[in-house]
Amino acid sequence: MRKIALVSGILILFTVTAMAQGPGMGMLAEELSLTDQQKGQMESMAFQHQKQMIPLRADLKLAKLELREIMATARVDEKAAISKNEKISSIKAEISKMKLLHKLEMRKILTEEQQAKLKDLKREHRRHNRAGGRGPRAGNFDGPGPMPGMGPMGPGKGPAREIER
């Protein structure tokens, strides 16, 4: 989930959150004409959100590890596996809810004009990605990359996805 937040680029308010946390805030703050008060509020909210997410992500990681442990036994306890899976789903739902609440709170800090500008930036970011941005989602499949049948450990080893032609 952290990867999504880091990779998302300019996404509505997700980016505002990310930029409020680090050195890249200047560019977005400038684009949106954020006041010093808005920057301070966003930074404070971002830190608070991070503090709330750390134990949730740790709980999720632990629950996933425990499920793997249950599944690794010779005779899998189905009740325990199902119960652990439900716990994982519950934690994921809580994380999703916390992210949504955080986005909604961040939105309240922006003026209507800033929200409209952020929406335009998001739209422009999407257009850029579709028109030749980096990665396979941008439609560039001609470059170097894993070949069919090549897993992370070499030919025929590890999980490899077959490419249909």
In the prediction, which pLDDT does 55 show? Answer: 97
d(CA 157, CA 17): 40
Strand spans (E) along 11-152: 150-151
In the prediction, which pLDDT does 86 show? Answer: 98
The counts of H helices and E strands in the chain are 6, 2
Do 163 and 150 contact (CB within 8 A), yes or no? Answer: no
What's the rounded mean pLDDT across residues 58-81? 97
User: Which two structure tokens, joined as six digits, stand for 5?
Assistant: 């937040």
| Chain position carrying tokens 């001609």 | 142
d(CA 138, CA 48): 34
In the prediction, which pLDDT does 20 show? Answer: 44
Of 10, 15, 4, 7, the closest CA to residue 127 belongs to 10
User: Which two structure tokens, joined as six digits, stand for 6?
Assistant: 């880091």
User: Which two structure tokens, joined as six digits, stand for 122?
Assistant: 């998001």
Go through the domains of the chain in sequence order and give each one's CATH number.
Answer: 2-133 (1.20.120)
User: Which two structure tokens, joined as six digits, stand for 66?
Assistant: 């425990």
Asked whether the predicted pLDDT for residue 152 surpasses 70, the reply is no
Q: How confident is the model at residue 155 (pLDDT cuts 50, 70, 90)?
A: low
In the prediction, which pLDDT does 9 show? Answer: 37
12-16, 79-83, 87-91, 130-134: range with lowest mean pLDDT:
12-16
d(CA 9, CA 148): 30
Question: Is the whole-model pTM more than 0.85?
Answer: no
d(CA 143, CA 141): 6
In the prediction, which pLDDT does 29 show? Answer: 84
Q: How confident is the model at residue 89 (pLDDT cuts 50, 70, 90)?
A: very high
CB neighbour list of residue 49: distance below 8 Å, 6 or more residues apart: 17, 98, 102
